[in-house]
Amino acid sequence: MRTFVTPIDRSRADAEENVETGFGPHRLTSAPVFRPLQRAGNWMFAACLSLCLVHGAPADGKPVHSGFLKAGNSDSRFPIGFYEMPKTEADLRAMAAAGVNLVRCRDRDDLDRARAAGLMGWISLTVQQGATEALRNLVVSVADHPALAVWEGPDEIVWTFTAYSFLKKSAGFTREDWNNQTPKAAGYAREQASMILPKLRDGIRLVRELDTLQRPFWINEAADSDMQYVRHYIDSIDITGCDYYAVRSTGTDLQSVGRLVHRWDAIGRGKPVWMVLQAFSWHTANPERTRLYPSFEQSRFMAYDAIVNGAKGICYWGSEQIDDPRFRESLYALTSELSKISPLLVAAPVEDIQVRIVSDLFDRPGRGVRALLRQRDSNFLLVLVNEDSHRHLGVDVTGLEALEGRTFDLLYGSETALVDRGGFVTRLQGYEVKVFTTNPNLVSDRLAGRDYTSPSP
């Protein structure tokens, strides 16, 4: 169910100004369409690896990457990434065993480690410095590596010269000055953009020339990075998106994740959006903050809210700062769950599902329930996400006439839903996620951590 884009009024830095994050209604057709797809196999590396599934082209005729991972002739995978490269091989293997399939790498040695663990990697490049010899040397040193999946540009590059909190000290203006477009703030940003963005485009052009496999290029921005300046480089990249860390002791706004996917889809003119989500507690970056990790249910909501709103990949930042092993256990329970349904997450959406809230007397207005329906062969995945903090006890799912008489099973629950007269009714508590499938075997055996809540400080 696609809705209008809601203006974004918060960003990660709205709550934390002194932390830098770099390095850091769908309708079914009258009959089911069973598209023949390859059987899902083990994750194997082939002689070449890329993310270059093409699903269409924009007005300028340039191919559009799907945003999904693909190794050689194997099936596509939904990207589940971590910025953290574990220090030990045991920890790296544990990450891979939890369904993570992509890690940030610094060099060829890191790519070797990733490949040995069955993972793919991305390499971050300082393309904002232009087509330098150092850039050329780094790209050449890794471009033939079979584990390399994607290039990444500078983190939050537009944010750094527009609304970054440290600009108060370095350039003499605040984020409020930028928001109000004072002459000083606007002038500084204009000057910096004129120097940085042409070099950035030149750097990316060099990478394209050197990479014979034409791997996609990704840039992650801050949630509210300026749209106009991002548009100055957006045609040079393949994947866009932003980071957002919604669980804070000063206030939590889980539903902003889905809204941000729509923002970056609009800014990117339909390019794939990857969301970078929270794998830390703010207290590890600022000791004055109260210790508060996302609960399993909060992490799960944020991931699925990104997915039902159109995100093509999810990465996690900050996990190297985790000081509560049970939180990592909860993250791995979630990544394992996502990995188990990955073949359906990358399948084509079925566009005819509709969701309507039939309100009771005390139901409050809100954003409502989002739905996603995917089909792979004869299997279906149905995800329902309540984007409101309050319950909805009359959620009417319709448009399923082609599935009449089939039963959906709730993964990680006991509920079943028989499709009758083209639909069924379910109930959702505040911020609840329900994942239904016609294949009840898509349950991960990694259940430890699913009850995690952050300990009281």
Map the chain to HEC letters.
Answer: CCCCCCCCCCCHHHHCCCCCCCCCCCECCCCCCCCCCCCCCCCCCCCCEECCCECCCCCCCCCCECCCEEECCCCCECCEEECCCCCCHHHHHHHHHCCCCEEEECCHHHHHHHHHCCCEEEEECCHHHCCCHHHHHHHHHHCCCCCEEEEECCCCCCHHHCCCCCHHHHCCCCHHHHHCCCHHHHHHHHHHHHHHHHHHHHHHHHHHHHCCCCCCEECCEECCCCHHHHCCCHHHCCEEEEECCCCCCCCCCCCHHHHHHHHHHHHCCCCCEEEEEECCCHHHCCCCCCCCCCCHHHHHHHHHHHHHCCCCEEEEECHHHCCCHHHHHHHHHHHHHHHHCHHHHCCCECCECEEEECCCCCCCCCCCEEEEEEEECCEEEEEEEECCCCCEEEEEEECCHHHCCCEEEECCCCCEEECECCEEEEEECCCCEEEEECCCCCCCCCCCCCCCCCCCC
Identify whether the C-beta of residue 130 lies closer than 8 Å to the C-beta of residue 207. no
Give the model's pLDDT for residue 287.
85
Give the model's pLDDT for residue 32.
30
Q: What is the pTM assigned to this prediction?
A: 0.88
Q: Residues 6 or more apart from 345 whose CB is under 8 A from it?
A: 78, 307, 338, 374, 381
Whole-number Å distance between alpha carbons of 310 and 66: 12
Whole-number Å distance between alpha carbons of 401 and 454: 43
Domain-by-domain residue ranges, the chain?
12-25+34-343, 354-437
| Direct distance between the N- and C-terminal alpha carbons of the chain, in angstroms, rounded to an integer | 40
Q: Are strands 392-398 and 354-357 parallel, antiparallel or unpaired?
A: antiparallel
Give the model's pLDDT for residue 357.
96
Whole-number Å distance between alpha carbons of 259 and 322: 27
**Ranges of the chain with pLDDT below 70:** 1-63, 71-73, 457
Measured in degrees and rounded to the nearest 5, phi and psi for residue 122 equal: -120, 155
pLDDT tens figures, 94-135: 999 999 999 999 999 999 999 999 999 999 999 999 999 999
Count CB-CB contacts under 10 A for residue 304: 25
- Please tell me the number of Cα atoms within 13 Å of 188 on its side-chain side: 21
Measured in degrees and rounded to the nearest 5, phi and psi for residue 57 equal: -145, 140
Q: For domain 354-437, give the CATH superfamily.
A: Golgi alpha-mannosidase II (2.60.40.1180)
Give the model's pLDDT for residue 25.
29
Which amino acid, one-letter code, is at 272? P
Q: Are strands 120-124 and 148-152 parallel, antiparallel or unpaired?
A: parallel
Instruction: Determine whether domain 12-25+34-343 maps to CATH 3.20.20.80.
Output: yes
Give the model's pLDDT for residue 288.
85
Whole-number Å distance between alpha carbons of 293 and 327: 7
